[in-house]
């Protein structure tokens, strides 16, 4: 029987399935393994079902035992894994695409609504019984007629666009390539990032993290936004330069932010705490029972496919 290391705790149904299929090492305490412990725990294993919280860099991958042949990542992203290092060691890396699109897009819309309608301030006042109605109390930004700029029109970006369109928002997007007209559904394409940002009353960051997108939203690019824009991020924290975004908030260049992801998770840059207009969530994008179950099942499917056939359709390296 093949032996699999699972680095983080999964939902019970998923762990039960793994037990039926493999000799499995489960993380019952949901401990965040150090790189050294992960290497030690993987001894004698054929594969690892990893999570985004695992830092599988070149040094770590080079120290994995020769028996490891697959890293099945429990995420649509794989920025936590050095793909080239894995490839050099003939270790395939897989991900879990498509199954988290709807759940993550819902959070993307929540970020837009929460930031535009000053939800954080409203929640605080309601809990403190510290409010009374007036015509100008917590006036926010209405979405109807607002221009939404989507950075990265992949599955999640397209789903956010569909929901936002139903709310009356006008959709603009920047992508590596222009979509076909039927997939655009009326969205306006911008070949250059600067062009997209210049018309984004609300910016939704949806692109994958890569060498090209790290710190893509920075001091320079934030200046392209209209004054008083709203910036949201449902993708990866590495795409946004926190200090630059906080500075833009300080200067009122940016009206509000909505973040489900940020650098150094779970440690939030304290600069955001100074702003009531910061609507921030603890990486809830895929956090529904249906989606987390489907993600883990797909990660297990990836293990099964590879261990039976030597290949996998969800291979990313």
pLDDT in tens, 306-316: 999 999 999 99
Provide the annotated active-site residues.
Answer: 236, 265, 283
130-175 pLDDT, tens digit per residue, is 999 999 999 999 999 999 999 999 999 999 999 999 999 999 999 9
Please name the residue ranges forming H helices in 117-210: 119-127, 155-166, 181-184, 193-198
Find residue 4's DSSP bridge partners: 24, 47
Domains detected in the chain: 3-98+288-309 (3.40.50.720), 101-280 (3.40.50.720)
71-100 pLDDT, tens digit per residue, is 999 999 898 999 999 999 999 999 999 999
Q: What is the pTM of this model?
A: 0.92
Per-chain mean pLDDT for the chain = 97
In the predicted structure, residue 236 carries a pLDDT above the cut 90: yes
127-140 pLDDT, tens digit per residue, is 999 999 999 999 99
Do 143 and 162 meet the contact criterion of CB atoms below 8 Å apart?
no
**What CA–CA distance (Å, rounded) separates 171 from 161?**
6
20-35 burial, b at 16+ Cβ within 10 Å, e below that, comes to eebebbbbeeeeebee
In the predicted structure, residue 27 carries a pLDDT above the cut 90: yes
**What CA–CA distance (Å, rounded) separates 161 from 187?**
8
Location of structure tokens 């890569």: 210
Question: Two tokens at 7?
Answer: 């680095």
């Amino acid at each position: 029987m093949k032996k699999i290391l699972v680095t983080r705790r999964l939902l019970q149904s998923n762990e039960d399935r793994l037990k039926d299929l493999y000799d499995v090492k489960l993380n019952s305490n949901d401990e965040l393994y150090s790189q050294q412990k992960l290497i030690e725990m993987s001894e004698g294993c054929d594969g690892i079902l990893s999570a985004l919280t695992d830092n599988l860099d070149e040094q770590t991958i080079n120290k994995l035992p020769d028996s490891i042949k697959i890293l099945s990542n429990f995420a649509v992203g794989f920025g936590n894994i050095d793909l080239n290092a894995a490839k050099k060691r003939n270790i395939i890396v897989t991900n879990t695409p498509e199954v988290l699109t709807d759940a993550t897009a819902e959070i993307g819309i929540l970020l837009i609504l929460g930031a535009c309608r000053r939800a954080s301030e409203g929640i605080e006042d309601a809990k403190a019984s510290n409010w009374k109605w007036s015509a100008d109390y917590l006036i926010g930004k209405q979405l109807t007629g607002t221009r939404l700029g989507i950075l990265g029109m992949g599955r999640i970006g397209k789903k956010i666009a569909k929901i936002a369109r139903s709310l009356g928002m006008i959709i603009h997007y920047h992508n590596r390539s222009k979509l076909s007209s039927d997939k655009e559904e009326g969205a306006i394409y911008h070949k250059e990032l600067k062009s997209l940002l210049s018309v984004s009353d609300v910016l939704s960051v949806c692109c994958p993290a890569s060498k090209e997108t790290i710190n893509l939203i920075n001091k320079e690019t934030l200046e392209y936004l209209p004054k008083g824009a709203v910036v949201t991020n449902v993708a990866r924290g590495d795409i946004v330069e926190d200090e630059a975004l906080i500075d833009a908030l300080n200067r009122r260049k940016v009206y509000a932010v909505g973040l489900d992801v940020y650098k150094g998770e779970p440690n939030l840059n304290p600069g955001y705490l100074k702003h009531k207009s910061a609507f921030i969530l603890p990486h809830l994008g895929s956090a529904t029972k249906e989606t987390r179950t489907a993600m883990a099942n797909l990660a297990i499917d990836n293990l099964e496919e590879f261990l039976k056939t030597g290949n996998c359709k969800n291979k990313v390296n």
